[in-house]
Structure 1
Amino acid sequence: MGRVTSTDRRAALRAGAGLVAGGAFAAACSPSGTPSGSPSGSSSGSPSGSFSGAAVHHAPAPTSPAPASRAPARPLAAPAPRAFPGQPAQIAHGPRDHARVALTFHGQGEPAVAHALLGEAERHGAQVTVLAVGTWLDAHPDLARRVLDGGHDLGNHTQRHLDVNAMSEAEAGAEITGCAERLRRLTGSIGTWFRPSRATRASPLVETLARRAGYPHVLSYDVDSLDFTSPGAPAVARNVLGGIRNGSVVSLHFGYPDTVAALPAVLDELDRRGLRAVTATELFS
């Protein structure tokens, strides 16, 4: 896919800043709404990596209104979860000897933001992984088709995006299977991956329940953008680019204007470094 110039991209996406800034954004993946601590290998707001900054673009959004949410008109043939021999039950990163990375988005928030982020990724020829919240799919079922039609992975981020690790076995099981059932109804599959809500890693109980629900692996990450803390788009770009390397899995979110504004700079820099953004499934294949 040919690269769109920064000038073209800014002209196309400038109108989105006001739309995104006024939206209702997703809850942070931390029980208190503040970071619960970065996993090993993740970066902080001032990473020590060689990346010193990026020309962060204004938050993009579609130049025309996002389509009204409605159920898909036809069933989708979505891929099912698969096991990766030799990989642990909880996977934080892929092989370090291939120049590929996975950008993973927690699916919740305003549909216009999701459309803007997916569109920007596709303009760069990037594919991403979306871990969807069940209530978000209930409200915006058309987004399941949008993700899959774009060639992206679609997975499970629990039904209500609560602290699943703190729940009883019955409650946690219902959170996992509730979202899985919605994914199956919309796409014919329970989704390619499971990630616990409000936690970097699943507890042993949640890991067991996810496997019981049909997910051979829990998808964690080794780079945390901290975009849910709304640190500003330049900080989001630094957090990602300061920690990312071959095989990295990056945690990002739909629903935050900083993420939308930072993504063009992140993708431009990945291109410069020769790092290809692929789905999590491709990363581990």
Structure 2
Amino acid sequence: MLGRAAGWGALGGGPQDSDRVALTFDDGPSPRTPELLEILAQHTARATFFVTAPACEAHPELLQKLLDSPHQVEAHGRWHRHAMLLTPWQEWAQIGWHPRAGQTGPLLYRPPYGGHSPLTLPLTWLAGRQIALWDVEGRDWTDADAPTLAQQTLARIRPGSVVLLHDGPAVTPELLTLLLEGLKARGLQASTLAELPMQRIRLRQGLKRVWASYGG
């Protein structure tokens, strides 16, 4: 719980004096991916896609489309399973898998559900990965409609925020459009995590995250 809520040692939001906000999509690629890419292109916006191994195997052409795009592609795991449900060697394989393995530069890993086990941080360090979390949830897995979700999400977004969305839900394209329009109205630009850039979550920031999740 503290691994996800506090996020100590992981990467979180960017500078609060920034004019950027990072939109991120988990669980893809999916048949919804081309529509999301089209909306992002219409708004001259960039995003980060955290993909899973099963989805990449099911849709290799969509993975290649993402890799050929101006967007950032990172890892969401070999299995979409909470870290506490993985054996140590499974979690090692989970963290080690990446769609851009072998490329230079830092590679990011977002644990499914943001879940941590006691081994998540040390295994990530040993694998040369960095955990990337978020501070705002779009809640596109719920039954709420897009205008309601957009209003709630935009109310929580601040400069430097990292927004969690999903590649797949039917509501996400409309929600994405409304978020991009709302960000533009506030003078904020949707960017990749690398462009944000993310900052490491330290003690004070972690305590703020816990308060926001459970107390605030």
| In structure 1, C-alpha distance between the alignment counterparts of 2:168 and 2:191, rounded to whole Å | 21
Give matches, 1:52-201, under 5 Å.
Answer: 89-108=9-28, 110-111=30-31, 113-177=32-96, 179-180=97-98, 182-184=99-101, 188=103, 192-199=107-114
Deviation at 1:231, TM superposition (A): 2.1
Q: Deviations over 1:23-44 (max 9, x none)?
A: xxxxxxxxxxxxxxx958xxxx
SS in structure 2 at match of 1:240:
helix
| In structure 1, C-alpha distance between the alignment counterparts of 2:144 and 2:104, rounded to whole Å | 36
Question: Which has more strand, going by share of residues?
Answer: 2
Aligned twin of 2:120: 206
Amino acid at match of 1:261: E
Q: CA RMSD in A?
A: 2.3
1:272 is the counterpart of 2:185: yes
SS in structure 1 at match of 2:108:
coil
Residues matched between the structures, number: 194
Aligned twin of 1:62: none
Deviation at 1:147, TM superposition (A): 1.6
Verify the 8 A CA contact 2:107 2:128 in the aligned structure 1: no
| In structure 1, C-alpha distance between the alignment counterparts of 2:63 and 2:105, rounded to whole Å | 12
| In structure 2, C-alpha distance between the alignment counterparts of 1:90 and 1:39, rounded to whole Å | 11
Q: Deviations over 1:28-72 (max 9, x none)?
A: xxxxxxxxxx958xxxxxxxxxxxxxxxxxxxxxxxxxxxxxxxx
Q: TM-score, normalised by structure 1?
A: 0.63
| Structure 2, unpaired ranges of 5+ | 199-216
| Structure 1, unpaired ranges of 5+ | 1-37, 41-87
| In structure 1, C-alpha distance between the alignment counterparts of 2:39 and 2:196, rounded to whole Å | 20
| In structure 1, C-alpha distance between the alignment counterparts of 2:74 and 2:132, rounded to whole Å | 10
Give matches, 1:9-48, under 5 Å.
Answer: 39=5
Q: TM-score, normalised by structure 2?
A: 0.81
1:251 is the counterpart of 2:170: no
Verify the 8 A CA contact 2:26 2:76 in the aligned structure 1: yes
Q: Deviations over 1:206-229 (max 9, x none)?
A: 1221222221x2111110111122
The structure having more radius of gyration, on CA atoms, is 1
| In structure 2, C-alpha distance between the alignment counterparts of 1:105 and 1:249, rounded to whole Å | 11
C-alpha change, 1:189 and 1:158, in structure 2 (3 Å) is farther
C-alpha change, 1:162 and 1:191, in structure 2 (3 Å) is farther
